[in-house]
Amino acid sequence: MADTTLIAAALGILEGLTEFIPVSSTGHVLLAGHFLGFESAGKAFEVVIQLGAILAILLIYAKRLISVFAAAPHDPAARKFILSILIAFLPAVVIGVLAHDFIKTVLFETPMLIAVMLILGGIVLVLVDRLPLKPVHEDAMRFPLGMSLKIGFIQCLAMIPGVSRSGATIVGALAMGASKRAAAEFSFFLSMPTMAGAFAYDLYKNRDVLDASALNEILIGFVMAFISAIIVVRWLLGYVSKHGYALFGWWRIIIGTVVLLALAAGY
pTM of the shown model: 0.84
The three-point CA angle 53-14-209 to 5° equals: 75
In this structure, what are the phi and psi dihedrals at residue 178, rounded to the nearest 5 degrees?
A: -80, 150
Q: Average pLDDT, stretch 181-200?
A: 88
Least confident of 27-31, 198-202, 209-213, 234-238: 209-213
With contact defined as beta carbons under 8 Å apart, do 129 and 249 qualify?
yes
Task: Indicate the angle between helix axes 165-175 and 145-155, nearest 10 degrees.
Answer: 140
pLDDT at residue 83, rounded to an integer: 96
Residue 247 has pLDDT above 80, yes or no: yes
* 243 has a pLDDT exceeding 80: yes
DSSP string for residues in 192-217: HHHHHHHHHHHHHHTTTT--HHHHHH
pLDDT at 96: 86
Express each pLDDT in 9-35 by its tens digit: 899 999 888 888 889 888 888 888 888
pLDDT at 240: 83
Coil, helix or strand at residue 143: coil
What secondary structure letter does DSSP report for 137? B
Host H or E run for residue 257: helix 246-264
Cβ–Cβ < 8 Å for 122, 250 = yes
Q: Provide the 3-class DSSP secondary structure of residue 105.
A: helix
Decide: 104 and 40 in contact? Cβ < 8 Å: no
Asked if residue 20 lies in contact with residue 53, where contact means CB atoms within 8 angstroms, the answer is: yes
Task: Please give the pLDDT value at position 91.
Answer: 95
- Per-residue pLDDT band at 255 (split at 50, 70, 90): very high
Residue with more model confidence, 201 or 139: 139
Average pLDDT in the 149-163 region? 92
At 178, the pLDDT band (50, 70, 90 cuts) reads very high
Percent of the chain with pLDDT over 90: 43
Position 123 pLDDT exceeds 80:
yes
Which stretch of 38-42, 81-85, 161-165, 237-241 has the lowest confidence by average pLDDT?
38-42
What angle is formed at CA 101 by the lines to CA 96 and CA 103, rounded to 5 degrees?
65
Q: What is the DSSP letter of 160?
A: S
pLDDT given for residue 169 in this prediction: 94
Rounded CA-CA distance 227/16 in Å is: 7
Q: So what's the pLDDT on residue 1?
A: 47
One-letter amino acid at 169 equals: T
| Predicted pLDDT of residue 72 | 94
Q: What is the mean pLDDT of the chain?
A: 87
- Tens of pLDDT along 62-108? 999 999 999 999 999 999 999 999 999 999 999 988 887 787 777 77
Burial class (CB in 10 A: 0-12, 13-18, 19+), 229: buried
Q: Rounded to whole angstroms, how far apart are CA atoms 215 and 178?
A: 40
